[in-house]
Amino acid sequence: MKKTRKRSPALNVIGQNILRARLKIRPAITQEDLCGRLAARGILLDRSAISRIENQSRYLMDYEIIAIARCLKTPVAKLFPEE
């Protein structure tokens, strides 16, 4: 029998904005592409980590946020909600 996990509260507030920014780039970059761009900057995240970030089920470190913003060519502030 498969166990279902209770949906835990969001662990970050920028995951959905990272997803939108990633898909907004033309051509859109894949999670795998983002992993490669991050690796070139010394940040080692695999595709599943990117997926968990975008699903808000993984914490982010400040240096990861900065690197992701640079890879997506967007200001860090644009990743955070305006509220």
The amino acid present at 11, given as its one-letter code, is L
Is 8 a domain residue? no
Give residue 82's pLDDT. Answer: 84
- Dist CA 10 CA 26 (whole Å): 28
**Average pLDDT by stretches of 10, the chain with 83 residues:** 69 96 94 97 96 96 97 96 82
Give residue 5's pLDDT. Answer: 64
- Dist CA 62 CA 44 (whole Å): 14
Going by C-alpha positions, the residue among 27, 25, 26 that lies closest to residue 68 is 25
Is 68 a domain residue? yes
The residue segments making up the domain with residue 63 are 15-73
Is 5 a domain residue? no
Our count of domains for the chain comes to: 1
Q: Say what the pTM is.
A: 0.87
